[in-house]
Amino acid sequence: MPIFGTDGVRGLANGVLTADLALTLAQATAVVLGQGRTAEARKAEGKRLTAVVARDPRVSGHFLTAAVAAGLASSGVDVLEAGVIPTPALAFLVADRDADFGVMISASHNAAPDNGIKIFARGGRKLPDVVEQRIEEAMNGEMLRPTGAGVGRIDRFSDAEDRYVVHLLGSLPNRLEGIHVVLDCAHGAASGVSPETFRDAGAEVTVIGADPDGWNINDGVGSTHLDNLAEAVVRLGADIGIAHDGDADRCLAVDAQGNVIDGDQIMAILAVSMKERGRLTDDTLVATVMSNLGLHVAMREHGITVRQTAVGDRYVLEDMNEGGYALGGEQSGHVIMSEYATTGDGILTGLHLVAEMARQNKSIAELASIMTVYPQVLINVRDVDKDRVSDDEVVQQAVRDIETELGDTGRVLLRKSGTEPLVRVMVEAADAESVHAYAGRLAEVVQERLSL
């Protein structure tokens, strides 16, 4: 069974993800990523390969970071340990330091017992599937075993956070004075750097969820638990709340009344702003098939094309890289601004969202009103033969019938799960009553036709 999932290697720390696995994975990474043309040229010049290693605050990150650093150094790679920083900071620093690759120890929005290992190639870019497969194969092969002066060093990357903060501040089109922001840092990797950056940018900042103890990451806080943030914003009379997840590659928001502003609405605000300022490549936004129909309608009204990809920020990134697009993301809050980042960056996204409030002197609710969120229902139909969903004519006719009835006022999507015997039925429509009726009707057809 492959160890790489949709976002690196992830699992129960010291269960699935052991120190032995982390060390071997690091050694295999040194073998594979040390074979490229740039790496070979460095070695020909007598230069060592360099890797940046970082982690989020969960307690297992200590031993996993030690194992990764040991695996790399024992393979002749010089390691710069950046400590606790966000995943997008690691990606930025790989490029900023011209390192050969980077390794992030984090399980993102997962609970504390889990952890993960994400590998970034030169330039701070996520690895293609084919390279991950080569690394996995190399784990069973011969490792590099330099001796003497050939082994790598492990040094502290002392100014890692400062470099990242300077980068973030330099991306802003204007300052944030006059706006009160509540930040929820999920007791995660953003706990130090996000409040510092927002304050340096001029915002008034109140912080919650910024006391990591190694076990409380994502525990009732952050982008997957917005109730506390909404309560704090309303109680304090703040202008906006910004929520990160454990490794700060996501950003969701709440307005002054505590209403959620999701990734689709954030992308709509940024896309229109970027188009007005001539920063939106080909007037195009990249989003997944799960983005709300309201996003498509709003973008069409503003002369912006929406390109659709499969679900997953890696697919959004692939499409953005191929077309050179400037903005893309997911409803979940992974927003990629390719002018400044090679991956989703929750702090960068939040800063630019607040900057737009300051630039237009409007509330976040006013800005978000450019998009009407269509009611959406998602039903997981379990214990079905998911592989037949595209071929069953009765199911497909039911989809066509509902699409005809909805016309331009709704949307239907069937997706098979990648890991379970289930089909996801998603329907959007202009009113809640219709969306529930259509989704239930289609789910019944799928259950009847595809039951195991």
Distance separating alpha carbons of residues 374 and 430, to the nearest angstrom: 6
Catalytic residues: 108
Residue 238 · residue 206 · CB < 8 Å: yes
Residue of 23, 20, 17 whose CA lies nearest to 4: 17
Encoding tokens for residue 317?
A: 């990134």
Distance separating alpha carbons of residues 285 and 300, to the nearest angstrom: 11
Sequence-distant (≥ 6) Cβ neighbours of residue 141 within 8 angstroms: 28, 31
**Which residue type sits at 407?**
G
Residue 203: half-sphere exposure toward Cβ, Cα within 13 Å: 33
Coil/strand/helix, residue 174: coil
Percentage helix, strand, coil for the chain under 3-state DSSP, each rounded to 5: 40, 20, 35
Strand partners, 10: 116
Q: What ranges make up the beta strands (E) of 215-294?
A: 240-243, 252-254, 260-261, 284-288
Distance separating alpha carbons of residues 17 and 13, to the nearest angstrom: 5
Residue 51 · residue 80 · CB < 8 Å: yes
* Cα 281 to chain centroid, rounded: 21
Distances (CA, A) of 374 to 19, 101, 297, 428, 435: 46, 42, 10, 6, 9
Residue 115 · residue 108 · CB < 8 Å: no
Distance separating alpha carbons of residues 320 and 95, to the nearest angstrom: 18
Residue of 444, 450, 277, 244 whose CA lies nearest to 349: 244
Coil/strand/helix, residue 158: coil
